[in-house]
Amino acid sequence: MREQLTADAGVIAGQPPRRGKAILVIAAVAAVGAVFPFLLAGEPFLLMLASYALTAAIVALSLDLLTGNTGLLSFGHAAWYGFGAYAAGLLSKTVTSDIVLLVLMTMLATAVIATLIGAVLVRQIGKTFAILTLAFSQIIFAIVFVFSGLTGGEDGLQGIPVPTFFGLQVFKPEVWFWIFYGVLVISLAFALHVRRSPLGKAWLAIRDNAERASFIGMNVNRLKLIAYSSSATLAAVAGALFVLFNGAASPDLLSWFESGKILMYVVLGGVGTLVGPILGAIAFTVAEHYVSSFTDAWLIYFGGLFVLMVIVAPGGIFGALSGIWTRGAASREAAQ
Amino acid sequence: MLAMSLALNGVVLGSILLLFSLGLTLIYGVGRVVNFAHGALFSLGAMTGVWCTQLGLPFWLTLIVAPIAVGLVGVFIDWAILARIRDRPMVDSLLLTFGLALLITGILYEFGGRTVQIMPVPGALGGVAAVGGLSLPVYRIFVSVVAIVLTVALILFLQNSRWGLRVRAANDNPEMGACLGIDRERLMHSVVGVSAGLAAAAGVAGAPIFTAYATVGDKILILAFMTVILGGLGSLRGAVVAAYVVGMIIVFGEGYFGGQAALMALFSMVMAMLINWPRGFFGEGRVE
Amino acid sequence: MILSVSQLTKNFGGLRAVNKVDLAIAPATIHSIIGPNGAGKTTLFNLITGSIKPVDGSVRFRDRDITGWSPQRLAKLGVARTFQRTSIYARLDVLENVALAIRSREGMTTSVWQPASAERRVRDEATDILAKVGLRGREAVLAGNLAHGYQRSLDIAIGLALNPALILMDEPLAGMSRGDRETVASLITMLRDTLGLTVVVVEHDVGMVMRLSDRITVMQHGTVIADAPPAEIRGNEAVRNAYLHGNFAQ
């Protein structure tokens, strides 16, 4: 039943890593990241756009950790992104300005709360889970307004101080780019690694056939909860970094529209491909910027595109591309 | 006194919510579609009401024209879009209708939905009715009556017409419906049409209370989802009871603690409900 | 007795699907449960394996009360099951199907870092189990691409990976070709003779069951109407009647 949504993981799981090639890939990825800010040296705005796109990419990856690994579809992932932003913002105004401490504290808080909430949510599947996550995100949204004295309510959380790293202020745009880039690359590498680990394979088992998995002794709900908590925590890290970079948080971060956008990144990119959602997020963020600069009707275009994608390419861009690639490879083989 | 007045308003909200949720339950029961675009259809109904009024249509006519127009839009949506994913897993319908919601919202933005539009109450329904020390705007009473009448009419129609028989057959068991020789495509067109029409009726009738803008349906969509979960997905009488329960919780919560706190209370209740009774009030909802 | 069921009862609506059923299963035997359609075999099976909970009665495994235990706990205890519709991971290779179950048994499903030696042990054990069920040489085949009969063998291999003492099989011969049925039947015999396992089989097909079983329980209308070795079942009047009427009435 979920075949169409996630047509991929069988391919990714179980490939032995090749060490030499891996080192090459790591070196290339690091080099691209290191050089990128200098390519945009004269364009501070583009560098900022790149950082926003990377934030979106981290959030998209975090949602794919949940949806791609367990098949649970969250319509309220912005709740955790926004939660991380508000938590880190409030902590930075009251406790410390050290960026590492702030991120760690946010992670801890999110992991605890997401585990408590998730313990109830993951008992549900399919549409009920989707609806509940949407409802939960509305609650977090509501909380911002209930405690508007603390959170700034409609105006958002303002005046977040510039964070520090061992006493040094972190404010240069290229440094921020490197931070986002580094977090994204490390998260992706870790997610790919987990795919090959026993945990990743157990996730695959509960996604493909939860009944069978429970009859071989797997604790299905616990496995889902691990996915939910880690997914929420990574989203919160993205939110925390975003708010420290941006200097302010708005309740819009928590809106259901934001959740929908995150889901779109993942679906357009290809659920379960990990890389696809990242590409989807980057493409979407950049496109949003350019399209919204010449028409304010961009919601129509993206809504329409989304509808079209679900109909014609449920595997997402990445899924469609790899489908073409596989077909191409097959015909090349046939030709030989 | 406050409590009584809140209870009356709870009935008003519950009635509108009921009318709105019925469409959601219907489309889920027959087509297994969880319609995230239902809220956008509510907004579309409200905005259509505003456009009709701007064109000079009398209020009464607007109240009839807007639901029919949106109902036709619903038929078109089903024919052009939902029909493409009929045999796909349910999550695809979640995604698709979500995209649809964005699309409709985007279109409404372009046609005046960015700002809050006021829909005037006709003179005959203006004013405030005072009953035993309680006062309630006449229009709210009117809306409740309309919603209840429409709901009863729909339920009677479901129970006594050939169309209703088919809908109930498909609702109980889609395969059996197919065996009985029901043309599933045409049935779905009509169900989505009726469902969209009901959403629009709630939207246009509610517009003088809630006003009209592109995202006016978002909040009521969340409430309607809570309603169908509390009542049990696919359960009609569950939805009836749950609509009023949700209406009361929201109105009393707003009256005593503020609107956002009411939402929190509602959500906590839904979570608790799901842990203990995942099949809703009457234990007949679907959990698959 | 390795498994004993007493007074087990389950209602569906007004219907007594399983009514005060007693069952005693001796270790290292093949014990079959047969009966016409609607006799309550599958319900009994699901009650024992934890898919549904009984309203009354108890299930004991060795000296432990396991009534209403979840499938997950039963698996940990060494009670395995196979499925009527073969239940394997079609998108994984054959070896990985069994390895999943081994890791689950070893409590390794949530580990993210695993030493290569541990993974090698898992794969070695999986290879051994596959050899036992006749799937040697097919380790790298995608499970979905296996022939029908081999898929059933793989289903059994996944069960074996739990190191069970008892394995319950839901219609293992259903929908099989004649050749495949022979293969599966000899596999079931092997489980008892070579591995010393207790096998409980719920089957619709009476012929094969007569040949295979040490003891047979016959059910009708939710109750046990006979419980004896195959030779006695063959001559049992009540059983013959049940099958004659059962096939027409139900």
- Which pLDDT value is given to residue B145? 93
Q: How far apart (Å, rounded) are the C-alpha atoms in residues B13 and B124?
A: 21
What tens digit of pLDDT does each residue of A194-218 get? Answer: 998 999 999 999 988 888 999 999 9
- Please state, in angstroms and rounded to a whole number, the distance separating the CA atoms of residues A228 and A238: 16
What percentage of chain B carries pLDDT values higher than 70?
95
Contact state of B101 with A303 under an 8 Å Cβ cutoff: yes
Q: Which fold has domain C81-163?
A: Rossmann fold (3.40.50)
Q: Which residues are CB-neighbours of A166 under 8 A, at least 6 positions away?
A: A98
Query: Which of A194, A209, A223 minimises the CB distance to C89?
Result: A209
With a cut of 50, say whether residue A1 has pLDDT above it.
Answer: no
Q: For chain A, what are the domain ranges?
A: 17-254
Q: Is the CB of residue A116 less than 8 Å away from at least one CB of chain B?
A: no
Cα C102 to Cα A93, C84, C128, distances in angstroms: 50, 22, 12
B128 forms beta bridges with B137
DSSP state of B122: P
Chain A closest-CA separation from residue C94 CA (Å): 12
Residue B202 and residue A327: Cα distance in Å, rounded? 50
Least confident of A260-274, B52-66, B176-190: B176-190
Contacts of C88 in chain A (CB under 8 A): 212
Partners of C79 in the β-ladder: C166
| Pairwise CB contact (< 8 Å): C88 & A211 | no
Contacts of B34 in chain A (CB under 8 A): 127, 130-131
**Candidates A204, A216, A218, partner chain C, best to mutate (most C CBs within 10 A):** A216
Residue to mutate among C51, C69, C93, C110, with most A CBs inside 10 A, is C110
List the single residue in C71, C96, C111 with the smallest CB-CB distance to A14.
C96
Which spans in chain C are helix H?
41-49, 71-77, 94-105, 116-132, 148-160, 178-193, 206-212, 230-234, 237-249
Report the C-alpha gap between A249 and A224 in whole angstroms.
30
**Contact call for C80 and A215, based on CB within 8 A:** yes
**Chain C CB contacts of A218 below 8 Å:** 72, 104, 109
Return the amino acid letter for C162: L
Cβ distance of C92 and A217 shorter than 8 Å: no
pLDDT number for residue B171: 76
CB contact under 8 A, B91 and A300: no
Question: Chain A contacts of B96, Cβ < 8 Å?
Answer: 307, 310-311
Mean model confidence pLDDT for chain A: 85
Rounded to a whole number of angstroms, the distance from the CA of A281 to the nearest CA of chain B is 16
Closest alpha carbon to B226 in B20, B42, B43: B20
Containing B284, the helix (H) or strand (E) segment is: none
CB pairs under 8 A between A and B: 129
Q: How far is A172 from chain B (nearest CA, A)?
A: 36
Of A270, A245, A257, A248, nearest to A61 by C-alpha is A270
Q: For residue C109, what pLDDT band results from cuts at 50, 70 and 90?
A: confident
B167 pLDDT exceeds 50? yes
- Considering only alpha carbons, which residue of chain A is nearest residue C160? A216
CB contact under 8 A, A135 and B99: no
Sign of CA dihedral A211, C96, C200, C74: negative
Q: Which A positions 117-176 lie with beta carbon below 8 A of chain C? A: none
Q: What is the pLDDT of residue B174?
A: 62
The H or E element containing residue C65 is strand C64-65
**C and B in touch (3+ CB pairs within 8 angstroms):** no
Average pLDDT score over chain C: 88
- Indicate yes or no: CB of B263 within 8 angstroms of CB of A142: yes
pLDDT band at A4 (very low <50, low <70, confident <90, very high): very low
Mean pLDDT check: name the lowest of B21-30, B168-177, C174-183: B168-177
> Quick one: pLDDT at residue A13?
42
pLDDT higher than 50, residue C164:
yes
Structure-token pair, residue A158:
């303002």
Determine the distance in angstroms separating the CA of B160 from the nearest CA of chain A, rounded to an integer. 31
Helix (H, G, I), strand (E, B) or coil at C178: helix
CA distance B151 to A46: 55
Q: Where are the beta strands (DSSP E) in A81-222?
A: 164-165, 168-169
pLDDT in the model for residue B181: 63
Closest by CA to B30, choosing from B195, B155, B181, B160, is: B195
What are the extents of the domains in chain B? 9-114+134-276
C34 with C243: CB under 8 angstroms? Answer: no
Kindly state whether A219 is in contact with chain C, defined as any CB-CB distance less than 8 angstroms.
yes
CA distance C193 to C187: 10
List the chains bordering chain B where 3 or more Cβ pairs fall under 8 Å: A
Residue B110 has pLDDT above 50, yes or no: yes
Which positions ≥6 away from B269 have C-beta within 8 Å? B230, B249
C-alpha to C-alpha distances, B161 to A210, B6, B11, B102, B155, nearest whole angstrom: 41, 38, 29, 35, 10
Q: Which residues of A touch C81 (CB under 8 A)?
A: 215
Taking only residues 57 to 76 of chain A, the set having a beta carbon closer than 8 angstroms to any beta carbon of chain B reads 73, 75
Q: Considering all CA atoms of chain C, what is the largest pairwise distance in Å, rounded to the nearest integer? A: 62
Across the range A234-240, mean pLDDT stands at 97
Q: What is the spatial distance between Cα A259 and Cα A83, in angstroms, rounded to a whole number? A: 13
* Residue B180 clears pLDDT 80, i.e. is over it: no
* pLDDT tens track for B42-98: 999 999 999 999 999 999 999 999 999 999 999 999 999 999 888 887 778 888 998
d(CA B29, CA B33): 8
| Residue B204 to chain A, least CA–CA distance (Å) | 23
Q: Given A138, A309, A311, which is nearest B263 (Cβ)?
A: A138
Chains B, A in contact, 3 or more Cβ pairs below 8 Å: yes
Q: Is B155 left (phi over 0), alpha (psi -120 to 50) or beta?
A: alpha
Q: Which of C72, C100, C159 sits opposite A219 (nearest CB)?
A: C72
Which tens digits make up the pLDDT trace of A15-73? Answer: 455 678 888 888 888 888 888 888 887 788 889 999 999 999 999 999 999 999 998 98
A14 has pLDDT over 50: no
Answer whether A38's CB lies under 8 Å from A173's CB.
no
Percentage of chain A modeled with pLDDT above 90: 43
Q: What are phi and psi for residue C103, nearest 5 degrees?
A: -60, -40
B9-114+134-276: CATH architecture: Orthogonal Bundle (1.10)
**C1-78+166-250 CATH choice from 1.10.1050.10, 3.40.50.2300, 3.40.50.300, 1.20.120.160:** 3.40.50.300
From A21-35, A239-253, B171-185, B262-276, the region with the lowest mean pLDDT: B171-185
Question: Nearest-CA residue of chain A relative to B82?
Answer: A311
Q: Are C182 and C174 in contact (CB under 8 A)?
A: no
Least confident of A187-191, A225-229, B184-188: B184-188
* Nearest beta carbon to residue B106 from set A1, A264, A303: A303
Q: Where are the domains of chain C?
A: 1-78+166-250, 81-163
Cα–Cα distance between C250 and C242 in angstroms, integer?
11
CA–CA separation, B46 vs B44, rounded Å? 5
Q: Chain A: residue nearest B232 by CA?
A: A128
Amino acid in position A133:
T
Chains in contact with A, counting 3 or more C-beta pairs less than 8 Å apart as contact: B, C
Tell me the per-residue pLDDT of A309-325, one tens digit each, with 9 for 90 and over.
888 877 777 666 766 66
C-alpha B261/C-alpha A145 separation (Å) is 9
Is A135 in contact with B96 (Cβ distance < 8 A)? Answer: no
- Please say if the pLDDT value at position A190 is more than 90: yes
